[in-house]
Amino acid sequence: MENILSIKNLSVELRDRTLVKNISFNIDEGDVVLLSGANGMGKSTILKSILRLETEGKRISGEVINHSFGNILTLNATDLQRYRAGIAYIQQKDEYAEMGNIQVRDIISEIREAHAGRRLSYSEVNDLIDEWIPRRSDGSRVFDAKSKPAKFSGGEQRLLSVLSVIATRPQAELMIIDEPLNNLDFINARNISNLINKVVKENPKMAVLMISHCRIFPFITREIKLSSDGISEVAEPYVCHSCFGEPDENGFYIQ
């Protein structure tokens, strides 16, 4: 399998503080990697460094090598944008609270438009929601194209963040997901697990790098653990799903 990303001796310093120290790991095509580690250890900082986001005030050293672009820490702005376009990124924080009258359709359309050049109609957005998120037991959608995310609960916001990236970017070569299950109840956590697994199964060459404190995902192929000693490969990652029911032989939970 071809290498997608190779992180070599990555360190991140902010003023006089070291956030990440000298870590190295590889991600190949088809890898579905869980990045584990305690709160505040530097996991999100690693993901942001891979994308070269939120770099103000930081000193980032080492190399983040992508097979097409080389070391992304030295890329110019145009190539950096092209590199990022191949990555579907779901950040840890949801940022919908200040969005006023903006609708779900605007958010999904905007991401889709940036990558496919076309806005979606209300009914297309509702079809997308129906394709990816099962309706509630009473037949209603968790949200629809006209819903306003500024008024969403924490879990609804998280669901929208994951949906808006995954459903609009299913062909990215690398998916980077920072804690997809925050605030989600069991049913929606299961839905998100299935939704990520669907993308993985439909795109066997895609690589996924995902942070999660919850070990529900049956389709993880590797776990790397970040500790104060650096990154280590976990020999036998375990899945813990007793609250969620049993997955089938393809790693999908039955709804």
Ligand X SMILES: Nc1ncnc2c1ncn2[C@@H]1O[C@H](COP(=O)(O)OP(=O)(O)OP(=O)(O)O)[C@@H](O)[C@H]1O
Interacting residues with ligand X (CB under 6 A): 14, 19, 37, 39-45, 92
Query: In whole angstroms, how close is the CB of 119 to ligand X at the nearest point?
Result: 33
Interior/surface letters 49-71, b for 16+ CB within 10 angstroms, e for the rest? bbbbeeeeeeebebebbbeeeee
Tokens of 92: 């840890």
Q: How far apart are CA 84 and CA 100, in angstroms?
A: 28
Q: How far apart are CA 39 and CA 156, in angstroms?
A: 23
Looking at the Cβ atoms of 41 and 99, the one nearer to ligand X is 41
Query: In whole angstroms, how close is the CB of 43 to Mg ion at the nearest point?
Result: 5
Query: In whole angstroms, how close is the CB of 157 to ligand X at the nearest point?
Result: 17
DSSP codes joined into one string, 160-218: HHHHHHHTT-TT-SEEEEE-TTTT--HHHHHHHHHHHHHHHHH-TT-EEEEE-S----T
Q: Which residues contact 16 (CB under 8 A, 6 or more apart)?
A: none
Looking at the Cβ atoms of 202 and 233, the one nearer to ligand X is 233
SS3 224: strand
Q: How far apart are CA 28 and CA 103, in angstroms?
A: 37
Could you say which of ligand X, Mg ion, none residue 149 binds, taking C-beta under 5 to 8 angstroms by partner kind? none
Do 28 and 4 form a contact (C-beta atoms < 8 A)?
yes
Verify binding: residue 49, Mg ion, rule CB under 5 A: no
Looking at the Cβ atoms of 42 and 247, the one nearer to ligand X is 42
Query: In whole angstroms, how close is the CB of 162 to ligand X at the nearest point?
Result: 16
Verify binding: residue 44, Mg ion, rule CB under 5 A: yes
Could you say which of Mg ion, ligand X, none residue 76 binds, taking C-beta under 5 to 8 angstroms by partner kind? none
Verify binding: residue 194, Mg ion, rule CB under 5 A: no
Say what the alpha-carbon torsion angle 217, 154, 104, 137 is, to the nearest 10 degrees: 70
Query: In whole angstroms, how close is the CB of 45 to ligand X at the nearest point?
Result: 3
Looking at the Cβ atoms of 93 and 146, the one nearer to Mg ion is 93
Looking at the Cβ atoms of 34 and 75, the one nearer to Mg ion is 34
Query: In whole angstroms, how close is the CB of 88 to ligand X at the nearest point?
Result: 19
Q: How far apart are CA 130 and CA 88, in angstroms?
A: 21
Do 205 and 174 form a contact (C-beta atoms < 8 A)?
no
**Binding track over 64-93 against Mg ion, x by CB under 5 A:** ----------------------------x-
From 44-52, 59-67, 94-102, 108-116, span contacting Mg ion (CB under 5 A):
44-52
Could you say which of Mg ion, ligand X, none residue 41 binds, taking C-beta under 5 to 8 angstroms by partner kind? ligand X
Q: For the chain, how big is the Rg over CA atoms in Å?
A: 18
Query: In whole angstroms, how close is the CB of 163 to ligand X at the nearest point?
Result: 21
